């Protein structure tokens, strides 16, 4: 796709510049518009106008803590309800601060919910007390996520806008860092099982503010948290480089012509789980992929233009993967909560 080509979908017309902007934000949600403009070969003013237009269509960049790095565990709940109660159950879950990605699937009788409780006590209260007492609830399956193969999840992908090869360091030598979409990503490694990162009051306040707006500027964050901009910068860099903070770009897939979102539950031979998980993470159709407990040991979320595309994906991308024993698909009928905000 070149800069003149356009994509026409339900929300309007998107050209390659806007798709490139979406991709750049997906690579680094806090990338300055000036940097994105340079990489896309246009002016900062033009990128600013396009960014403002996308914002009117619901574009958000949200800062999200990385649960595993903070000693927290993410759960995925599959809640089976009577047909006339799924909506109310989903809305009740959406009001909780520790839930995200709530959707209705399976003919409207199943609620999917990502849960990241801050303490085991809060998890137990929900799973062992509140949900069992909920009227018209048929059953609950709670799956503990063991390993995330994708990064901080996004709800869309914009394909066809290549950013070119990885750039070298300033001196022309490979310095071990990557340049993705004009964004320098420092080369650093974390221990395989690092100790949970301890957070202070400023860290927690910063995470709360970034959950509202991941692109909030340093002066704005400093005012909200009552700290100096230099202090905010230090805390932001620490959370990011330590792998405790990521940024998710929220933009409804339907705006880009992707009208079918689907949960995929895969049963994979145990020795093949890592390879299949990495393969799924490399597929542009997959926004989320993780190893999990339960009878299906891999779960993924895919985004497709149509049921025909889903069928082709299952036949040509999932079918050839090694060790696949079973696949269950559950198309999403309605999203109730995306990230931290109810729809």
- Decide whether 61-165+176-187+247-343 matches 198-241 in CATH topology: no
Fold classification of 198-241 (topology level):
Arc Repressor Mutant, subunit A (1.10.10)
Contact predicate 62/214, CB 8 Å: yes
Supply the pLDDT for residue 74: 93
Q: Report the alpha-carbon distance of residue 113 to residue 122 in Å, rounded.
A: 15
The Cα 242–Cα 237 span in angstroms is 8
pLDDT of amino acid 252: 86
Angstrom CA distances, 183 to 140, 230, 292, 316, 325, stand at: 42, 21, 32, 33, 40
Residue in the structure block whose two tokens are 């503010």: 209
pLDDT digits 0-9 by tens, 251-276: 888 888 888 999 999 999 999 999 99
pLDDT at 152: 59
User: Interior CA angle at 318 toward 314 and 322, to 5°?
Assistant: 150
Q: Does domain 61-165+176-187+247-343 have CATH number 3.30.70.920?
A: yes
The helix-helix angle for 201-212 and 229-241 (nearest 10°) equals: 80
Q: H or E stretch including 328?
A: strand 324-338
Q: Where are the domains of the chain?
A: 61-165+176-187+247-343, 198-241
Length of the chain: 343
How many CA atoms, within 13 angstroms, populate the side-chain half-sphere of residue 282?
A: 9
Short-list 136, 125, 129, 93, CA closest to 111: 93
Task: Reduce the DSSP state of residue 282 to 3 states and report it.
Answer: helix
Of 202, 197, 194, 243, the C-alpha closest to 224 is: 202
Q: In the structure, how many helices (H) and strands (E) does the chain have?
A: 10, 15
* DSSP-derived secondary structure for 44-62: HHHHHHHHHHHHHTT-EEE
Instruction: Give the list of residues 6+ apart from residue 297 with CB closer than 8 angstroms, or none.
Output: 266, 267, 268, 270, 273, 291
Phi, psi of 45 (to 5 degrees): -60, -45
pLDDT the model gives residue 12: 55
Give Cβ neighbours of residue 159 (< 8 Å, ≥ 6 apart).
284
Across the chain, which has 343 residues, the per-10-residue mean pLDDT values are 43 79 89 95 96 94 91 94 92 93 90 93 94 93 93 57 32 35 35 79 96 95 97 96 91 87 96 95 90 96 93 95 95 88 63
Task: Give the per-residue pLDDT at 174.
Answer: 36
Q: Is 318 left (phi over 0), alpha (psi -120 to 50) or beta?
A: alpha
- In sequence order, what are the beta bridge partners of 245? 65
């Amino acid at each position: 796709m070149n800069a003149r080509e356009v994509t026409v979908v339900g929300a309007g017309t998107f050209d390659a510049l806007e798709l490139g902007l979406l991709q750049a934000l997906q690579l680094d949600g806090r990338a300055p518009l000036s940097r994105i403009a340079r990489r896309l070969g246009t002016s900062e003013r033009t990128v600013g106008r396009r960014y403002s237009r996308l914002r009117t269509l619901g574009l958000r960049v949200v800062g999200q803590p990385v649960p595993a790095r903070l000693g927290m565990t993410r759960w995925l709940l599959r809640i089976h309800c009577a047909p006339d109660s799924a909506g109310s159950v989903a809305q009740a879950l959406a009001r909780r601060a520790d839930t995200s990605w709530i959707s209705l699937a399976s003919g409207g009788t199943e609620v999917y919910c990502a849960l990241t409780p801050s303490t085991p006590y809060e998890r137990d209260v929900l799973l062992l007390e509140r949900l069992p007492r909920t009227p018209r609830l048929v059953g609950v399956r709670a799956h503990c996520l063991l390993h995330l193969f994708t990064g901080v999840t996004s709800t869309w992908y914009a394909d066809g806008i290549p950013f070119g090869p990885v750039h070298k360091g300033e001196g022309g030598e490979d310095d071990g860092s990557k340049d993705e979409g004009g964004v320098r990503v420092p080369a650093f490694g974390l221990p395989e099982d690092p100790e949970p990162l301890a957070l202070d009051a400023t860290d927690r306040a910063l995470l709360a503010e970034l959950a509202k707006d991941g692109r909030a500027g340093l002066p704005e964050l400093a005012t909200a948290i009552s700290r100096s901009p230099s202090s905010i910068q230090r805390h932001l860099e620490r959370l990011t480089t330590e792998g405790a903070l990521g940024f998710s770009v929220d933009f409804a897939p339907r705006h880009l012509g992707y009208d079918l979102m689907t949960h995929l539950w895969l049963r994979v031979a145990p020795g093949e789980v890592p390879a299949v998980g990495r393969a799924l993470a490399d597929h542009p159709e997959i926004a989320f992929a993780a190893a999990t407990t339960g009878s299906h040991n891999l779960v993924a979320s895919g985004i497709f233009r149509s049921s025909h595309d889903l069928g082709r994906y299952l036949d040509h991308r999932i079918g050839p993967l090694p060790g696949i024993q079973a696949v269950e698909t559950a198309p999403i009928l309605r999203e109730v909560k995306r990230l931290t905000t109810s729809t």
